[in-house]
Amino acid sequence: MAKSIEQLITDANGRLKAGKTGMVIELRYNKLCLRGQLPPRPGSAKTGSYSQRVPLQYLGNAAGIAKAEADAFLVAGQLIKEKFNWHDWIEIYSPQTATC
């Protein structure tokens, strides 16, 4: 029997937790997004990291979850190396199209 999307996300989030990424995958409006402690977005008045979502253009299916998990590990690596830059994700993040 095939796993449900919710179970696939739970499994992926378990791997992200085991990898100590600090990121989780969420499904919102049939699109996936990442949530974690991230630096302020460009133009924000905030100065420190806080819980934010990175909307992804991946559908809530097995292939999208695999891509989102890979992106979560990438973001976590960038954060550890202090190389995270919203401009790397700006094409993905668009206030006009954000669903997260």
pLDDT of 43: 84
Pick from 47, 49, 4: nearest CA to 23: 49
Whether the predicted pLDDT of 4 surpasses 70: yes
Mean pLDDT along residues 13-24 = 97
Residue 65 structure tokens: 């979850």
Query: Residue 25: what are its φ and ψ, rounded to 5°?
Result: -95, 135
Q: Using 50, 70 and 90 to split pLDDT, how confident is the model at 57?
A: confident
Phi and psi torsions of 85, nearest 5°: -140, 125
Q: Which of 53, 55, 65 lies closest to 8, judged by CA?
A: 65
pLDDT at position 98 is: 55
Mean local confidence (pLDDT), 76-90: 89
pLDDT over threshold 70, residue 95:
no
| Residue spans of alpha helices (H) in the chain | 5-18, 62-80, 86-89
